[in-house]
């Protein structure tokens, strides 16, 4: 997880929560003994931050086994993540939730926008990303 070294602990978290990285997503990215995100919203935010940092191991570890790809490619060279807006976090029941978000990026001078409603499941007290529908 080499992307962690590029984030200063006192830097604002990339998920735009307003907290410092070390107090926000950084604590979930910290390694094999890392804390588990307590909600689907926190997991979604930590996954966005992981995408911005190319933390593919974390992304795969937080992806549900039923839909997890065998591997992930690193971000395309020149991709710049511009921000995250969480629009809605809906708890369906104790083991299911959805998060609607918009993630903005820029590649080769072209703005991109990913608007998704993601599904999450909690198993053995741990939240996992399952899949999502593009809006």
* Residue percentage of the chain with pLDDT more than 70: 90
**Contact between residue 78 and residue 107 where contact means Cβ atoms under 8 Å apart:** yes
Is the pLDDT at 2 greater than 60, yes or no?
Answer: no
pLDDT at 100: 98
pLDDT at 74: 87
Kindly report the pTM of this predicted structure: 0.90
Domain annotation for the chain: domains and CATH numbers: 2-134 (3.10.450.50)
Dihedral (C-alpha) 66, 126, 41, 90: value to the nearest 10 degrees? 70
Cβ neighbours for 25, distance < 8 A, ≥ 6 positions apart: 13, 14, 15, 17, 45, 46, 49, 50
Interior CA angle at 35 toward 58 and 82, to 5°? 50
Is the pLDDT at 31 greater than 70, yes or no?
Answer: no
- What pLDDT digit, counting tens, does each position of 71-124 carry? 999 889 999 999 999 999 999 999 999 999 999 999 999 999 999 999 999 999
CA–CA gap between residue 75 and residue 81 (Å, rounded): 10
């Amino acid at each position: 997880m080499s992307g962690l070294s590029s984030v200063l602990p006192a830097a604002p978290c990339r998920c735009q929560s307003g907290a410092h990285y070390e107090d926000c997503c950084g604590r979930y990215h910290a390694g094999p003994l890392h804390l588990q995100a307590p909600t689907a919203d926190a997991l979604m935010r930590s996954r966005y931050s992981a995408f911005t940092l190319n933390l593919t191991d974390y992304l795969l570890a937080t992806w549900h086994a039923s839909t997890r790809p065998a591997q992930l490619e690193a971000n395309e060279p020149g991709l710049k993540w511009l921000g995250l807006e969480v629009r809605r976090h809906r708890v369906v029941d104790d083991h299911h939730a959805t998060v609607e978000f918009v993630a903005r990026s820029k590649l080769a001078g072209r703005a991109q926008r990913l608007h998704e409603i993601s599904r999450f499941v909690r198993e053995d007290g741990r939240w996992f990303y399952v899949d999502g529908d593009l809006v």
